[in-house]
Every structure is written in structure tokens, then in C-alpha cells.
Structure 1
């Protein structure tokens, strides 16, 4: 993200806001973090009663108070929301393990390992490619009425589209439109830099998860936006402004996950 002006006090005005989706929360968190990292104090005002109740339950307004550790887990008073979390490389697998166990409580013996491993994949892409001055934020929400989980992750790095095009130029290939670059990042086996963490799979695993779970994937990066519903063609094109980084939103249907296998193998010696 480009340099921001020095601001002594950043006031977040919720007066015209009634509801925030998971993607709204992580984008807002990254924006606040960008100012906070430059020394700005943070204040909040306005908002409907229901919105402020939700903000209170997930402790959102406490995150940028002095002494609050955003890289630790902050238990929410809303049991269907897993805390907003400032992504820390040291705690990636701790978080995804915790998320798996946390949301398995709402399922009828479903195995959420595929969900946890795909959250890992998003985290690792942030640390491998984004070069983000803000490490990124995630929030995960369970919707009991339709038995779905939605998680959103945001960073203010160079963006998937920019990373892909930089890679193409290094290979002496022509750069492509940002939305086409996002789709390219979803190709199986495509990875700018293969590391032990991302294993060279890029974001294709996340695409396959949403396909197999009757879900939805949305990626916004630079000037490109891509949406993919299970069983449908991509909806993709130019966004109306340049988003400084990458926003990924994933929706999955828990009814489609396999049952946990709790049987123990018996070995003869």
C-alpha cells in the first residue's frame, strides 16, 4: 500500500452502516492497522444498535487500544464468530487447528481438516508473495440457518495480480489483465515461488474446496475481481478502482463435508 499521511486521530464512522460482512471486517481492520502502525490513535462513532452489539461481542473496538495483542486469539462473546485475528506467521497452524476444532462443534461429526488446510494455504500465500506492510487479517463466521462457514482474509501487499504479472515479465512473457492474472493464480500447479509451506499448489486447492463444498470463492486484487460459484463459470472483470493488495472470501457448505473417521486401526504384533 502506498504511504499514508500522518494522522493523529483516525475516527471510524459507522453512522451509515447497519451490517458488516466478513470481507468488510478484514478490509477495515487492515485499513485501521495501516494508520495505527504509523502512530495514529483510533476512535469509533455511530452505528446501529445491532451493529454495535456485534462489534462489542467480537471486541472489535478494543483491538487498537494500547496493550491489546491482535496476534493472539481473542475469544468472541458471539459463539458463531471466530475472532478477528492479525495473522502471525508463528501461529498459522495453531490458528487453523483451533478453527477446525472450534467449528466442528457445530457440525454433525463432520471432518473440517480440508477447511483448515485451505486457510493455511491462504496464510502461506500472504507470507510468500504479498510483501504486505500489514501482515493481514482474517475473520471466520458460521451461519447456522444454512449451515455455512465464510472466512475472509485481506492484506495490503502488492496483490496477486501484480505478483503474477511481475513473474510473467521475468519469464519474458506479456503481462495480462489483472482479472486474468487472478484466474491464472488458480490454475493447478501454478506458483510464483514454491516453498515448503505452500508446496507449489498456489490457490488451486481453495478453488477445489469451494467446488466440492457447494461454495463460493471471491478474489479482489489490484484492478481485478473474480467470483466463482460451485458448478458455474467464472464471473470476472475489472474493478472500479485499484485495490492495494488482495482480498479473498471463501464460503463453504458444511453439509457437503465428509464424516470424521473415529475408528482406530488395530495392529497385531
Structure 2
């Protein structure tokens, strides 16, 4: 999809469509392309916003979950966003959870897919090795049920990232920060409708992780997609969008506001 990358006050982001706000947060190795089908489908009826998180540009000392959360908070404040639906994949889901903890008044709905925060098997059990294209290709393919989804362009992008010592240090710092930040004891705080969409064959955040999120988040609904791994919105976009669309319709923000008012 062709979409404009906007720049404002040091932020780079996508802002497409009009209507209720869907704020999308990508994962550690994520990119805007991860959300192509979501943008195409939902920007016709919603305002879809995706901040490009500075995962590889952050100073090493700030390369952490806390540093990325502060970035998102500044972005939301800069854009004056409110009454949002947060959608997060992998690390982006973890950040969406933390944002909801800190700003419950701004979040109306939450969507998690392959979210970290309870348990994650990063890159198949090890951090990426620099200089080995074959290793990176294998690890990227590991995140998909169908290895063919791991296109050469995607592998090249991850290889370029892991070939940089500063970028690798940022990745390791953020990944370790995420592993330290277990949200289990605080998930009761999430009181907004929450959709969990999981790949049944997820190797990074396995199916039992989804069941645990479902158990700990009071108003949550869990759906699995078969023959799908860690990024359902990429690997099974039609089914992911169908589940998301149906759920959004059944949980309108307007009705939620009325119930709070009454």
C-alpha cells in the first residue's frame, strides 16, 4: 500500500483515514509494512495511526521498554489523541498494555496479538548473530508458520539491522527490559474490552501465553488462527481483519461511553 510517512516535531508516523482512532504499535523487528493490510482495510472507516518507534536510534542507556513508552506518551500528547483503540503486536502489545496501565482514561479498547509481557521466546531462543545471513534468514522464518512469508526483503531488512553493533545493542537492551517487565500481577487493572488474536502455532509467545492473558484480563476475548505464527496480521491478514472488524463493531466506543456515564 502507498501511504504517506509524515514528519512532525521529530516524530515520523502514518496517519490515514478518519473516524475512531486505531493506534498501531509494531514489535521489536517490526516495520510499517507489518500493518499494510490493516491500514488498507480499516483506514476506510477509522483513523489509523502508526508511530515509527525509534528502536534503533535511541541512546543505549534509553533503549528499554520505559524509553519506548515515554516516546509513545510524547507522541500521543503531541498529536492530542484520546479515546483510542490500541493495537499491539509482540513488543508493541507489551507497550500497549503499559500505556493502558498509565493512561486508562485515554484507552477505550485494547487489541493484543502475539504480545510479550508474560513470556516470550525471543528470536527462537537466542539473540541474532551478526554477520550470518543464513542464521538471520532461519530466525526470521521461525516467526512464521509458512517460511515463505519471510520474504527476501524482510530478511535483508533484519540482516541490515543485526549487522550494526549499536542497533544490536539496542535490540538486546530492549529485549532484556521486556523480559524483566512481567505484567501478570497488574493485568487486573485493564478494564476496557480487550481482543486477543493469536497464531495457534506461535513459537515466540505460545498458545498458553494467550490463554493466560485471557484468564488475567477480565473483559477479554480470545481467538486463535490455525496455521499461523507470531504475526497474524501479516501471515493471515484476511482472517485477522475479519476478527478485528467483527469485534470493533460489537464493542463501539460510543456505547462504552454511555455505560460509563449511566
Q: Is TM (by shorter chain) over 0.5? A: no
Which is strand-richer, 1 or 2? 1
Please report the TM-score for the alignment, with normalisation by the length of structure 1. 0.29
* Structure number, greater radius of gyration: 1
